[in-house]
Chain A
Amino acid sequence: MPANKKYLTHSILQRWLKITAGFFGGYGVVITFFLMLSFVFERKNVLITGIVIGYILWAVLLLFAFLAKSGWKIWAIYLLLIVLFSLPYLLCSFKLYPSICNCASVLLLFSYSRPSSNPLHKNSFDWKKDASISISKTKFKRILFAEY
């Protein structure tokens, strides 16, 4: 009992449109969605949240593309979403509406950063200020995979 062919996409063009829309378009939607969020919440927290739920979101968007009636339509929807989600980034980087760049810093006040209760912190240096931090790519790979 394979799936009933009656309900599946027969046109090769349509099929490819759906696959590419789901895979590449879906990827674009996920990335730009979190790009937009990074203008609202603290950037590193958005990134780690994105790592955790981004792939699931992507898989769901891939499925939506297959459920769509037309490949053109789903591409149009995903492209529209991509443009919409990247608006804050575009407005900021092309200086069309520069104050949006600072919007994040205002919201930062409300996000996850609270002073530590550890008294030892008070007479310690600021880790980030005092030591500019660098690591090579190969070293990072070694750390991750214990590899040459």
Chain B
Amino acid sequence: MNNRNYNIYFHTHTISGIITAAVLYVIFFAGSFSFFKDEISAWQSNTSQMQHKGHHFDYQLLLDSLDQKYDLQGRSLLFYLYPNSSNSYVNMTVSQDTVHNAKAKETAYFSYDFLQKKESSYDQNYDLGEFLYRLHFLAQLNQAIPLRTGYPIGYLIAGLVAFLFLFALITGLLLHWDKLVANFYQFRPWAKWKTIWTDLHTVLGVIGFPFQFVFAFTGVILIVNVVFLAPFSKLLYQGNMEKIYQELEYTNDLDVPFLYKPLDKKIDIQQYIDRTQKLWPDAFLNRITIKNYGDESMVLAIESEADRTRSFAGTGTIAYQIKTDKVIHQRSPYDQPTYIAIMKSIVYRLHFGDYGGYFAKIVNFILGIMGCVVIVSGILIWLVARDKPNVPAHKRKFNFWLANIFLAACLTMFPVTAFTFVVVKILGNADRSVIYHVYFYSWLLLSLYYIIRKNLNRTNRETLLLGTLLAFAVPVVNGFFANNWFWNAWRLGATDIFFIDLFWLILGVLGVISYQKVRKRNLEKQTK
């Protein structure tokens, strides 16, 4: 490789890396936990979804109670359902029929639990799983920064960071290209500090490269596909963004003209849903649309995803006209999927890691945390490489100041996350504002403390110890406050709750081992 190119790769890699490091760490850390979003939700609410797998969802009961409360005549309803969850979101529009419906102007958007048969608002239903999931694309920043950009600011920042990360990955790979094979084996844990950081960064970076690359580019796509699509909507679709999303199969909403003639028939939605489920065995019905309820034009549309062991990318839709009992449109999820469905499925499956059960999720989690290590070691290389007598004092001061803040903010995430798990369990029912307060304030306080202490070694050691202790506390409070001791959860078949406890226990054990190593190392250094 010529020297000029090498140094350009080096420099652009360093700059894009140091700009994105702190935010990227947050994304990686929260994102790694998000692989277990469903399990965390089950853990927090003490309701195992595993225990109730294959539970029958009673739509008729829900519709009847909604009918009494809001009068469904002339409305359209949308149900969003999620795999491994009895929780759904229901969106109810205004009624087009103002003659027969006194409450026509009212709308509703709420979440409904099919198991507990209970309605709740989005805020009430917000849990730690949702919080960590949304933190990993910086959704909380949308409200925090009052900047109107036409697109949520948090998502834009997350998108930009993911894009720069993609760039840093490409330059990083080119940088190490010539000695790629040698780098695989080059780990010298007993050498001096800078060598250790460099080795850690290179070895884990090289091993984790395919994983990180996949997450960088699928992440950019998922969070800011609007950046790519916006010009096309202007140029090819007369500015109609909805049309693009329609064509790319993101949305599939039908507009059926309202006839203003009440339907003279008993409406049995349940029967259609059962029929559809039988038609496509093991398919997951993820969106149910009822158009013009109680009108002669009434249509029921069901969208589904294929059982992923049988079709990787299949998505299906079916629409019934209630009046005539006829199927007016059908595409089976087990048909040959379209090119669009295949491409999108690749992106989604790869990013969500939901193709291989717990094994795939755990591997993804480990690789995600390895990404965190690569980022932290990157920051340390950056600092140590510039900590030399020939670098001016003010620059060295700035470098230390930056690394100090970055490490304090990043490394405190581990204890803060464990702490929030503990608090949420002790409080019993924690909604959105509680989680926000506990997580963000404890994070702020703890990082401020370590920023003031100005000791990188101490930050590392103490956050590790604190996180480890709190990690052990997670299964214990789950036992004390919810009686979900390991053995109880296991006996009841609540494998998701059991998994989260076991997961924290293992994190705790790993924490103890790492802490021992760090301490021993530190003592050796002091005696030298």
Contact = CB atoms under 8 A, between A and B. Distances in A.
Interface string A115-142: 0111011001101001111111101101
Contacts of B80: 143, 146
A1 B385 contact: yes
Interface in B324-361: 327-332, 335-336, 338-340, 343-344, 346-347
28 contacts: A2-B11, A2-B14, A3-B10, A7-B3, A31-B231, A35-B232, A35-B235, A38-B232, A44-B247, A47-B247, A48-B339, A51-B225, A52-B221, A55-B163, A55-B221, A55-B228, A59-B170, A63-B171, A66-B8, A67-B5, A118-B335, A120-B330, A121-B331, A131-B256, A132-B255, A133-B254, A134-B253, A139-B251
B7 A56 contact: no
B89 interface: yes
Nearest to B121: A148
B242 A8 contact: no
A137 B241 contact: yes
Contact of B4 (A1, A7, A35, A55): A7
A94 B498 CA distance: 65
Interface residues of B, number: 67
Given A51-B225, A58-B163, A146 B248 contact: no
Given A3-B7, A137-B242, A124 B217 contact: no
Contacts of A135: 242, 245-246, 251, 253
Interface string B218-259: 001100010011011001100001101111101111111000
Contacts of A4: 3, 7
B122 A148 contact: yes
Q: Which of A48, A116, A139 has the most CB of B within 10 A?
A: A48
Q: Main SS of chain A's interface residues?
A: helix
A131 B255 contact: yes
Contacts of A49: 343
A67 B5 CA distance: 7
Contacts of A77: none
Contacts of B221: 51-52, 55
B8 A7 contact: yes
Given A118-B332, A133-B255, A47 B229 contact: yes
Interface of B: 3-12, 14, 78, 80, 89, 91, 109, 122, 139, 163, 166-167, 170-171, 174, 217, 220-221, 225, 228-229, 231-232, 235-236, 241-242, 244-248, 250-256, 287, 319, 327-332, 335-336, 338-340, 343-344, 346-347, 385-386
Contacts of A127: 319, 329
The 3 closest A-B pairs by CB, nearest first: A7-B7, A3-B10, A3-B11
Nearest to A35: B235
A31 B228 contact: yes
Contacts of B167: 59, 62-63
A50 interface: yes
Given A55-B228, A66-B12, A131-B254, 10 more contacts: A3-B14, A31-B231, A35-B236, A44-B248, A47-B244, A52-B343, A55-B221, A116-B335, A148-B109, A148-B122
A24 interface: no
Contacts of A144: 250
B217 A56 contact: yes
| B interface: dominant SS | helix
A62 B252 CA distance: 36
Contacts of B336: 116
B170 A63 contact: yes
A8 B166 contact: no
Given A63-B170, A148-B109, A140 B251 contact: yes
Contact of B242 (A48, A67, A140): A140
A147 B137 CA distance: 13
Interface residues of A, number: 58
Nearest to B340: A48
Nearest to B382: A2
A122 to B, nearest CB: 11
Given A44-B248, A60-B170, A124 B330 contact: yes
A27 B96 CA distance: 44
Nearest to A54: B228
B329 A2 contact: no
Interface in A3-30: 3-4, 6-8, 30
Nearest to A121: B330
A136 B78 CA distance: 13
B488 to A, nearest CB: 31
B385 A136 contact: no
A145 interface: yes
Given A3-B11, A8-B8, A52-B347, A133 B253 contact: yes
A134 B255 contact: yes
B503 to A, nearest CB: 25
A112 interface: yes
Contacts of B250: 140, 143-144
Given A2-B14, A146-B80, A124 B328 contact: yes
Contacts of B386: 2
B290 to A, nearest CB: 15
Interface string A79-109: 0000000000100000000000000000000
B327 A120 contact: yes
Contact of B328 (A43, A130, A142): A130
A56 B281 CA distance: 38
Q: Which of A6, A89, A131 has the most CB of B within 10 A?
A: A131
